[in-house]
Amino acid sequence: MSFAMHALSPLQPISSVQPQGLDAQSVLRLAAHTLFEQLAAAAQGMLVLDREHRVVWISEGYKRFLPALGFDSDADFVGRKVEEVVPGTLLAEVIDTGRPILVDLLSNKAGTFLVSRLPLRDEAGEVIGALGLVLLDQPQSEPSPGGRGTSGPTLQPLIQKFARLQQELEEARRQLAAETARNRRPKHTITSFIGASPAALEVKRQARRAAQTDANVLLLGETGTGKELLAHGIHAASARAQRALVSINIAAVPDTLLEAEFFGVAPGAYTGADRRGREGKFALADGGTLFLDEIGDMPLALQSKLLRVLQEQEFEPLGSNEVRRVDVRVIAATSRDLGAMVARGEFRADLYYRLNVLPIRLPALRERMEDLEALADALLEDIARRSGMPQRQLAPEALDWLARQAWPGNIRELRNRLEQVSLMSDELLLLAEHFGAVQPTAPAPLAALPACTPEPVAEQQRPLQPLPDQIAQLEREAIARALRMTQGNRVAAARLLQISRASLYERLTRWPDLQQA
């Protein structure tokens, strides 16, 4: 439907009825004129736009909305593009598509309105502009006004309800945005990286230098050495500190979902829960930092897409052709030997060089045992603060005992042990024997493993097991131990064993009892 000011054809039969000697053309012109005047007078407000979306005329009634829209006089308002002066209007769309929107609710800073939008066409049917009508209004400051500006008795409650819901939605969105921003604040600073050994001081020095730049950072180190903690620290000390730090653990996301996780999904690309679209981590990190943990686990196909984003700072969400530009600083981390992976063709060399601009190597705990006491103190303090339990101290002999352990799981493993012992003992002073009471870190004797305990028979009496069985036994023990060390965390256990998650899952199906570990 269109508002055709001069179209003749629909009213053609009128030409035979000419009461005042008017021809059909004149009757129609008069009819359009009268209709226009009546609409302008009856509606709460009316405005007319030209083809370029500019406001060319507004009715007397419309003028009272101008202050709420931020205009003192109609001279400032008329002549401007409608999308610049009326927030949320779809009039420009009506002109561009030529399709009317007969009834709609519009909510903006001036209030909530029942509106109608019609395209205007010339005699050839070409769109020459649009007509906007405010049929009923609910100004922001007047919940239930009387006189002009009020709505009919039937629709008014509906508009009020819509306006209230709209306000509630806005408030919920504001709260969610504030909450999200709070959650994405860095949890640690560079000083949270405890240690005064030369190796730890060097890590902190490099981290501070990295924070001064916007270059990509690659954190290298065994599991549990503090890579994630340091990524938070670098972000917190960087110029991006006020913006989001978004993390993604690549090893923890199934390969098939990674692309959507990175780049998001355009609305309508999928049915079901995702049909409304979803922001990806790159979009969420715009202006801030993206922490890519376990970058070595990234599938090759996705590596080339990541390279493009790093080079161009742009990407396309899944199911969309629209290119999104972002400004993201990437901090990647891995416990794997990326250089060796490149040599084996498992990791793209060009991506490796892109990421490896500022490499920082985090030492294993065994390489900086002089930090053990400070680390244990800081961890015990943190454990006490988080759990509400009293803070424990380490007896000197307990510290000696801890210093003799291998710590393949590094500081995470140290933390887990301290936490376990704190939970199992009421003593404020922790002794070596308290640590002996929980599973030792040193390689577990076979007898310590349930279900695979060999009979205590003399070596010479023991029948020789077939080699495949012995290998399976060893494999089972190693997996059981890795699961114990990581408190059942399979991603971390796979990492410790330097096998893929898929391979760990596959092996676990052979030993269902370990799956409960």
Ligand X SMILES: Nc1ncnc2c1ncn2[C@@H]1O[C@H](COP(=O)(O)OP(=O)(O)OP(=O)(O)O)[C@@H](O)[C@H]1O
Stretch that binds ligand X, among 5-13, 43-51, 221-229, 298-306 (CB under 6 A): 221-229
Three-class DSSP labels, 413-445: HHHHHHHHHHHHCCCCEECHHHHHCCCCCCCCC
Cβ closest to ligand X, residue 266 vs residue 380: 380
On whether the CB atoms of residues 511 and 481 are closer than 8 A, the answer is no
**Alpha-carbon torsion (366, 372, 376, 382), positive or negative:** negative
Stretch that binds ligand X, among 160-168, 188-196, 278-286, 452-460 (CB under 6 A): 188-196
Q: What is the three-class DSSP state of 350?
A: helix
In single-letter form, the type of residue at position 366 comes to R
245: enclosing H helix or E strand: strand 245-249
Cβ closest to ligand X, residue 4 vs residue 250: 250
Q: Is 335 a binder of ligand X (CB under 6 A)?
A: yes
Cβ closest to ligand X, residue 274 vs residue 382: 382
**C-beta of 412: minimal distance to ligand X in Å?**
4
Among 45, 61, 132, 221, binds ligand X (CB under 6 A): 221
Q: What is the three-class DSSP state of 280?
A: coil
The whole-angstrom separation of Cα 285 and Cα 199 is 31
Q: Is 225 a binder of ligand X (CB under 6 A)?
A: yes
Burial class from Cβ neighbours inside 10 Å (0-12, 13-18, 19+) for residue 173 reads: exposed
Q: Is 193 a binder of ligand X (CB under 6 A)?
A: yes
Q: What is the three-class DSSP state of 255?
A: helix
The whole-angstrom separation of Cα 111 and Cα 288 is 35
Stretch that binds ligand X, among 65-73, 191-199, 309-317, 341-349 (CB under 6 A): 191-199
The whole-angstrom separation of Cα 380 and Cα 365 is 17
- Residue by residue, DSSP assigns 140-193 as TT-SS--STT---TTTHHHHHHHHHHHHHHHHHHHHHHHHHHHHTS-S--GGGS
Task: Scan residues 375-414 and list those touching ligand X (CB under 6 A).
Answer: 375, 378, 411-412
Read off the DSSP letter of residue 464. Answer: P
Q: Nearest residue by C-beta to ligand X?
A: 226
372 to each of 194, 407, 483, how far by Cα in Å?
A: 10, 11, 24
In single-letter form, the type of residue at position 207 comes to A
Stretch that binds ligand X, among 69-77, 98-106, 224-232, 458-466 (CB under 6 A): 224-232
Cβ closest to ligand X, residue 278 vs residue 415: 415
Among 223, 238, 247, 289, binds ligand X (CB under 6 A): 223
Binding map of ligand X across residues 37-56, x = CB under 6 A, - = no contact = --------------------
The whole-angstrom separation of Cα 480 and Cα 317 is 41
**C-beta of 254: minimal distance to ligand X in Å?**
18
Binding map of ligand X across residues 480-499, x = CB under 6 A, - = no contact = ------------x-------
Cβ closest to ligand X, residue 89 vs residue 335: 335
Cβ closest to ligand X, residue 226 vs residue 280: 226
Among 137, 259, 293, 419, binds ligand X (CB under 6 A): 293
Q: How many residues bind ligand X (CB under 6 A)?
A: 20
431 to each of 31, 306, 388, 418, 439, how far by Cα in Å?
A: 99, 50, 21, 11, 15
Read off the DSSP letter of residue 22. Answer: -
The whole-angstrom separation of Cα 102 and Cα 460 is 94
The whole-angstrom separation of Cα 342 and Cα 348 is 6
Q: Is 227 a binder of ligand X (CB under 6 A)?
A: yes
Burial class from Cβ neighbours inside 10 Å (0-12, 13-18, 19+) for residue 475 reads: middle
The whole-angstrom separation of Cα 301 and Cα 303 is 5
Among 229, 246, 290, 383, binds ligand X (CB under 6 A): 229
Stretch that binds ligand X, among 1-9, 97-105, 226-234, 385-393 (CB under 6 A): 226-234
Stretch that binds ligand X, among 75-83, 102-110, 222-230, 275-283 (CB under 6 A): 222-230
Q: Is 224 a binder of ligand X (CB under 6 A)?
A: yes
Among 194, 250, 298, 394, binds ligand X (CB under 6 A): 194
Residue 314 β-bridge partners: 325
Among 228, 259, 297, 419, binds ligand X (CB under 6 A): 228
Cβ closest to ligand X, residue 222 vs residue 259: 222
Cβ closest to ligand X, residue 117 vs residue 204: 204
**C-beta of 419: minimal distance to ligand X in Å?**
10
Stretch that binds ligand X, among 49-57, 70-78, 81-89, 225-233 (CB under 6 A): 225-233
Among 195, 233, 264, 363, binds ligand X (CB under 6 A): 195
The whole-angstrom separation of Cα 429 and Cα 244 is 41
**C-beta of 491: minimal distance to ligand X in Å?**
8
Cβ closest to ligand X, residue 138 vs residue 335: 335
Residues that bind ligand X (CB under 6 A): 193-195, 221, 223-229, 293, 333, 335, 375, 378, 411-412, 415, 492
